[in-house]
Structures are given as C-alpha cells and as structure tokens.
Amino acid sequence: MQGLKFGKWTVVKEFETQKPGRWYECLCDCGTIKVKAGTELRAGRSTQCPPCQYKMLYDPDNEIDRKYGKWEVIKFIGVHRKLYHFEIKCECGNAGKAAAADLRSGKSRQCSDCHNRENAFNNTKHGKHKTLQYKVWSAIHQRCKNPKSTAYKYYGERGISVCERWNKFENFLEDMGERPEGMTLDRIDNDGNYEPSNCRWVTHQVNCNNRVRRMIAGQKRNQT
C-alpha cells in the first residue's frame, strides 16, 4: 500500500493501532496527514482531507457557470448570514440573486416569470386547477414536500413521499379518476407512499376509522 494514491491521499506507511483491520498514515495533496483505514481508502469512502473536501464543496469559484434548473451561476456576490450568495441568470434572460443552498436543494430553479408561465401553461392544459381533484393533488404534495405545511410532520417528516409519476397532475387524474362526490383520498398502508397501488377513494367515515385502527396498531407496536 505504501506510495499508492487514493484520490488526493498518498499512503505513507502502515500505522499500528488496536482497531481491527489495517490502518495507514496518509498524506493529502495539501499537506494534511491523517490515519485512514485501508477498507475506507479502497472503497473510495475517503479521497481527501476534510479541509479539501470543504473547499471542493463550498469554494465559490466552483459554482461559477454551473446550471441549476434554468438558472446559471454568473458570479459570487458575498456571504450573508453564513450563506454564499450568487448572481444568477435565467434561461429567459432575467437576472436574480440566490443562496447556494437554495440552488443546490432545488428551492430555486427558475425566475418568477418562467414559474408563472409554466404554471399558466399547466393549468390551461388540463383546465382543472380550480377543481376538488386538483386541490387533493396539490394538498398531498404540500404535506409531503413543504416543511412549512402544518401536516408535514405527519407525512414528509415521516418519510411519506409522492411517487414520481404523480408529480404531473394529469397522471394523478388518469390513475385515480375523478374524485367521487363525498369521497376522500386514503392510503391503504399508512406507512406507504402516495402512489396508484396504495391509494383509493373512500368515504370520510372510512378514512377516520382507518386512522383510528392505525393509531391503535401503532400504540401496540410501541408497547412490544
């Protein structure tokens, strides 16, 4: 192993330790010396020291010209409230500013003009944005994806998600059909996701009864 390169690490020598496995003293290209497990190096779980890793992820220069959705990063502006902020340009030509964290997370992917045009196109296409069916579809996305939603802690925070196919309203409408009068959307498996095989239309009473049974079952599991 001595002299071998693993990313920015160069193995200097074997290091004696009481820990299981073989450990090696490694020198990073930047000059940092660390002791790493051989399995960690060979598996590629460690390729550089923490300072180099941080610089690779957060060096503002690495963000220039990157694309996030329709945004292109133009230049670094500065640090505000411990977040890196950049000047960005949308594909339509509109300019804007955003924090790197918002770009990486997908919170900001296009300018407001493009967002409004996209929503207007989708609403015009299916013509159901004011229907109860559309409100149900919108609600399941909110409770699963929006941390600010009051229901998020019961859904998104628990790991409940909406299947990729249902990111498009037309697919949800095709799979579930029109919402029957007096019915609500119910998940068959309370720990399952919103997807065709796990959803059905039921009466409000049935939905409430299911919730009670699920709550009792959950309490029993916690007691065992």
Dist CA 61 CA 75 (whole Å) = 8
Closest CA to 41 of 2, 86, 96, 97: 2
pLDDT of residue 119: 65
Dist CA 76 CA 78 (whole Å) = 6
Element holding 84 (H helix, E strand):
strand 83-90
Interval 11-29: pLDDT, tens: 999 999 888 999 999 999 9
Fill in the amino acid letter for 197. Answer: S
Dist CA 12 CA 26 (whole Å) = 5
Half-sphere CA count of 55, side-chain side, radius 13 A? 6
Name the percent of the chain lying above pLDDT 90: 50
Q: Kindly calculate the radius of gyration of the chain based on its CA atoms and give it in whole angstroms.
A: 25
Residue 214: pLDDT band (50, 70, 90) is low
Collapse the DSSP code of 184 into the 3-class scheme (helix H, G, I; strand E, B; otherwise coil) and give the result: strand
Dist CA 35 CA 55 (whole Å) = 20
Residue 113: pLDDT band (50, 70, 90) is confident
